[in-house]
Amino acid sequence: MGSDSFFQTDYAPPTAFYFSVKFDGFSEMDASFQEVSGLKVTLDTIPKKEGGDNHFVHHLPVQPKYENLVLKRCLLANSGLDDWCRKAIEDFKFSPKDITLSLLGSDGTPLASWRIMRAYPISWELGTLNSTSNQLAIESITLKYRQFKKYA
């Protein structure tokens, strides 16, 4: 078996709860998120029939399609990230940022990282407010981005 086999004695699969998000130009507090989703890419295809052969259709890959990135955190007022989102959504002034998302090992070193390029906010949402529960106020920020690349 290879050195990265799941069945090795000392192998521990990475956990999804230990990660970091870093925005270019924002403080570490601005990038404290409890949940990140939407890091996904798919290739679209176009069908192409072959002349004279009607038994199958070729599917040719075309450009990749990237999903929206959704970040959730406790509502944090008067932050740089909050200002950035409000400028985009309220004033229609966009300033795309690069983001680094890292899955961390138990010692805090990155096991895998993704560089998300040219992200900008397209949606902001405040979670449900409920006077009978004891939960934090959660904001969700949805970002559109050009592409991402995995490294490390």
Q: Is the pLDDT of residue 48 over 60?
A: yes
Assign 50 a pLDDT band (cuts: 50, 70, 90): confident
pLDDT tens readout for residues 113-150: 999 999 999 999 999 999 998 899 999 999 999 999 99
Q: Which residues pair with 88 in a beta bridge?
A: none
Please tell me what DSSP assigns to residue 52.
T
21-43 b/e with 16+ CB inside 10 Å = b?
Answer: bbbeebeeebbebeebeebeeee
Residue closest to 38 by CA, chosen among 128, 127, 122: 122
pTM for this model (two decimals): 0.83
What average pLDDT score do residues 5-9 get?
65
Q: Is the pLDDT of residue 30 over 80?
A: no
Residue closest to 148 by CA, chosen among 62, 50, 39: 39
